[in-house]
Structure 1
Amino acid sequence: MSRLRHFLTAVTGAVVLLGGATACARADAPPAPDRGTVVSAIPVAQLSAEDLANYFASGKLDTPVHNGVDAYRVDYRTITPTGEPTTASGLVVLPRTESPRLRLVTFEHGTLVLKTDAPSRNSMTRPDQARTLMFAAVGYAAIAPDYLGLGDGPGTHPYTHGPSEVSASADLLAAAKDVAAQQHRELERDVLVTGFSQGGHAATAFGKALQAGAVPGFGLAALAPISGPYDVQHVETPAGLDGRVAPASAVFYFAYWVTSMNRIYHLYDNPAEAFQEPYADKVDGLFDGEHNETAIGAALPATPDQLLTPQFIALAQNPTGAVLKAMTDSDGTCDWTPRVPVHLYAATGDRNVAFANAEHCLQALHSDNATLQDLGNIDHNGTAKTALPQILTWFQQQVPAS
């Protein structure tokens, strides 16, 4: 019997804190002795306030600048989705201010496939480094994890895998504390967290971990995620199959998610169980960190029903076994009650991440501390451009930079 047919009758396993599988990486798991240890810290941007203002202007980012910044690409020790030692990279930015104690913002980036497009690597053609510098430009320390398998990280990226988004973020936080200490600075305990798209998902997962005390020495100050796929099982997958998500985007996301989850959960024995020919033999290789979105899009079909087999579509609609476990391990990022302010941002006009994701997240949070702002009839990328300046202002009101 093929593994796919077996899944159709299998039952799901238990789900633990942070929506993580018992065998998967957890921020609250017994720490490896050297998790969060800095391997290297390489300066990538040393900018005066004037230089920073010119940098933002060249990228058409209208944001205040109060000070210069020093930014580093930090390689650090962390764990794989199965808990084995590995390394990852991320961006750590310190403001040029006189304050010895710094408030910290974590920015979680959106979907990337090319290793060199990660925030610590790409300062020119991608916005994530600039979005991180934006917070440091008004006096915050700021970090942006590249996630596993992107930037300098070895191997492939476990796309939208909540437990490893948390472990990579938590261990970069520990590394950033050491980088700051080298500059005779300290990081305040409570962290402001935001993120866009995949990063919205990562932000809610990380916020949940911080409030739960799963990140030693740190807590949560406020959370502001943007347009995250918080509910793959009940919202994003159905929306990708019924056309609410634009077909080309749905094809890309399905291909990325299925190949990534197969590496962790073994969704199939043979790719042809999930993908139709002629795509079955090449989909996995497209997501190796060396192909960009254009190359991947050109190699994939136009619609999900041309990409996925009928059997796998049926399994996606009614998940069981490892497919269900892959979904539920990462779908619990909003299943907690925040004790701090949470502002969700999303847009009804978004054809990449269905607005109902944010509605389901708000319902799951079930707290007067949580609100949802509908950004209206704008596209997916437009939600980040619209929301981030508002989030910066809101963070300054909630927890001013030191």
Structure 2
Amino acid sequence: MALAQIETDLALKYSFKLYKITYTSITPSGESTILSGAVFVPVTTAALPLFSFQHGTQAKRNEVVSNKFLFLYEGITGGIGASLGYVSCIPDYLGMGDSQLTQAYLDNKTSAATVVDIILATREFCSKNNIILNNKNFIGGYSQGGYVTMAAQKSIEEDYSDKITLTASAPMAGPFDMENMFNGLLASGEYSSPGLPAFLLYAYNTYYKIADLSAIFASPYAAKINGLFNGSKTIGEINPELTTDLKLLFTPSFFTNFLENKNSALWTAVKQNEVLTWTPKSPILLLHSKADGTVPYANSEKAAEYFKSKGFNKVTLMPLDGLDHIQAAVPATLAMFAWFQTY
């Protein structure tokens, strides 16, 4: 199959073994915490590249690869990666899998640490189990995972270049331009998946103490929020419990005191978690559908424009046409692997 300028005929060569690992990372406050993840290891004695894949938004704690392995999209991605010859690791994230904390949804530093730490933990796992790694390291992710991948690349290049040499990165269909996306979302008044902005505000309020939930969410939704985001429900189960009319989901005072006040605690948190704040060093492939109504294509356009404005030209923006956010995930992922194979 050919996708735009990338040929996506992939030769799956290896059987693989699956492992669950736990490792130490950090919370948004910098405290040490234990996270879980999965590692897919090709059955071969050859020296292998390492690949970390970051999954999209999931609110239900046990809906993770370390628990269900190949029964999720990201698990299949890990399996394809291993079959192609990559030692593939997939972090569950803070608040997912074994972690009982609130998920730090779209939190820059925590997202980055999750990836850096699972890469280092996977290296240690390989060393202890006589699995040989070469010096190539790849990262990729879709949706929330695209944002997490971008945050991880920034952290690796700025703070961990002595420990991790990044070969290439594929942040796909992520909310890279947080401020403009948030402005556009709430200005539109309607959103088909209200669980997503609600999840972001719940997470930011948990870790940045923006306001009492009743000052953010209108009745009757304020009373439901803690129960919706306690790790027991998927976004698909949460959406029907809310309203797609954001003017009814959030309080009038929230719009006045927080959205319109660019000095509010909310905007301080949003700006603190922007990822378009550095000049990359490693090649980047941005894959995004122009028909994406969940995370608009403009996010990837802005990322490409920003990086090029900083003099970084090793960024490629590849549009996919006619696919919604969910439909684009598989072809984007196959194109990511085909691109990785060129390195």
The TM-score with structure 2 as length reference comes to 0.91
Equivalent residue for 2:121, pick from 175, 190, 194: 175
**1:266 aligned onto 2:212:** no
Q: Against the structure 1 CA distance between its residues 200 and 317, is the aligned structure 2 distance closer, same or farther, given a 3 Å change threshold?
A: farther
- The change in CA–CA distance for 1:125 and 1:141 in structure 2 (over 3 A counts) is closer
Contact kept, 8 Å, 2:289 with 2:297, in 1: the verdict is: yes
In structure 1, C-alpha distance between the alignment counterparts of 2:161 and 2:29, rounded to whole Å = 18
CA–CA separation in structure 1 for the residues paired with 2:14 and 2:182: 44
Separation in 2, partners of 1:325, 1:112: 25
Give runs of aligned pairs for residues 189-200 of structure 1, distance below 5 A: 189-200=135-146
**What secondary structure, in the 3-state scheme, does the structure 2 residue paired with 1:343 have?**
strand
Q: Is the 8 A contact 1:343 1:373 kept in 2?
A: yes
Q: What amino acid is aligned across from residue 282 of structure 1 in structure 2?
A: K
User: Per-residue deviation at 1:297?
Assistant: 1.5
Q: Does 1:312 align with 2:254?
A: yes
The partner residue of 2:34 within 87, 98, 107 is: 87
Shift of 1:320: 2.0
Measure how far apart 1:207 and its partner are.
1.1
Shift of 1:326: 1.2
Task: Mark the runs of 5 or more structure 2 residues left unpaired by the alignment.
Answer: 1-8
Q: Shift of residue 215 of structure 1?
A: 5.9
Residue in structure 2 matched with residue 383 of structure 1 by the alignment: 328
- Find the counterpart in structure 2 of residue 52 from structure 1: none
- Measured on the aligned residues, the alpha-carbon RMSD in Å equals 1.9
Match of 2:318 in 1: 373
- Structure 1 runs, 4 residues or longer, greater than 4 Å off: none
Conserved 8 A contact 2:53-2:139: yes
Task: Tell me, in whole angstroms, the C-alpha distance in 2 between the residues paired with 1:86 and 1:339.
Answer: 30
Instruction: Name the SS of the counterpart of 2:62 in structure 1.
Output: helix
Which amino acid in the other structure matches residue 188 of structure 1? N
Is 2:13 the partner of 1:69?
no
Unaligned stretches of 5+ in structure 1? 1-61
- Look up the SS of the partner of 2:327 in the other structure: helix
**1:1-400 → structure 2 map (5 Å cutoff):** 64-99=11-46, 101-123=47-69, 125-214=71-160, 216-234=162-180, 236-243=181-188, 247-249=191-193, 251-268=194-211, 270-314=212-256, 315-331=258-274, 333-366=275-308, 367-398=312-343
TM-score normalised according to structure 1 size: 0.78
Q: Distance in 1 between matches of 2:11 and 2:296?
A: 31
Identity among equivalent pairs (%): 28
Return the offset for 1:192.
Answer: 0.8
- Looking at structure 2, the residues matched to 75 and 98 of structure 1 have their Cα atoms a distance apart, in angstroms, of 24
Secondary structure of the residue aligned to 1:212 is helix
SS at match of 2:117: helix
Aligned partners of 1:230 and 1:358 also within 8 Å: yes
Deviation at 1:169, TM superposition (A): 1.1
Distance 1:359 1:222 in 2: 19
Q: Is the 8 A contact 1:276 1:306 kept in 2?
A: yes
Paired residues of 2:108 and 2:151 also in contact (CA < 8 A): yes
Shift of residue 185, structure 1, vs aligned partner: 2.0
Give the aligned residue type for 2:58: L
1:347–1:375 Cα contact (<8 Å) kept: yes
Q: Secondary structure at the match of 2:341?
A: helix
Superposed displacement of residue 168, structure 1? 1.3
1:335 to partner: Cα distance: 2.4
8 Å Cα contact 2:10-2:338 kept in structure 1: no
String of CA shifts for 1:240-285, please: whole Å, max 9, x gaps: 22449x6122x211110011001111010x2111110011122132
* 1:328 shift after superposition: 1.4
Cα gap change, 1:372 to 1:302, in 2 (>3 Å)? same
